[in-house]
Amino acid sequence: MVRFVELFAELVRVEIELWNDLDAHLVSTVGVTLPQFQALAAIRATGGAVRVQDISEELSITVGATSKVVDRLERDGLAIRSANPNDRRSSLIVLSDRGVNALVAANGAAESHLRAVLGGVLGDEDAAELLGQMTSLRSRSRSAVAR
């Protein structure tokens, strides 16, 4: 019988190792960190001009952590922050041209790196099945927390 505490611990270890490896790869090949890549992708995924809160929700991280990542994106010329005309308390963030280029490069580098790392263990069918299972787990976890 599987002990779910062991399963959880292994999931966490795998995530940490994959995270650290991909982060180092992105920094060395594209010059962006994994958090920057994820934030760039979240800005693009949420439709362009977004609030820090929108990025935070997309990435499932705190607003404070998201704000720090956005500060770095802005500092590095990857994103542009401007006043939100509908809410003086927030700003809108958009990708700069440099940010769009970095996102494209990072996406390609991440996909090829992860395919090399994970593809040795998972074929496309197994990866698709695991993705579905992980999505279901995340959905159930979110609904359990909401209760």
* Per-residue pLDDT reduced to its tens digit, 108-143: 999 999 999 999 899 999 999 999 998 898 888 766
Length of the chain: 147
Element (H, E) at 82: strand 79-83
Alpha-carbon span 15 to 1, nearest angstrom: 23
| SS3 category, 130 | helix
Alpha-carbon span 107 to 87, nearest angstrom: 32
Alpha-carbon span 41 to 127, nearest angstrom: 21
Give the distance from CA 140 to its chain's centroid.
Answer: 20
Minimal CA–CA distance to 34: which of 45, 42, 44, 26?
26
Provide mean pLDDT across the span 96-107. Answer: 97
Predicted confidence at residue 145, as pLDDT, reads: 62
Q: Could you confirm whether domain 4-146 is CATH 1.10.10.10?
A: yes
pTM: 0.87
Predicted confidence at residue 96, as pLDDT, reads: 96
Which tens digit of pLDDT belongs to each residue from 13-60?
999 999 999 999 999 999 999 999 999 999 999 877 999 999 999 898
Ranges 60-69, 101-110, 133-142: which has the least confidence: 133-142
For the chain, the domains span: 4-146
- Name the token pair of 8: 């959880």
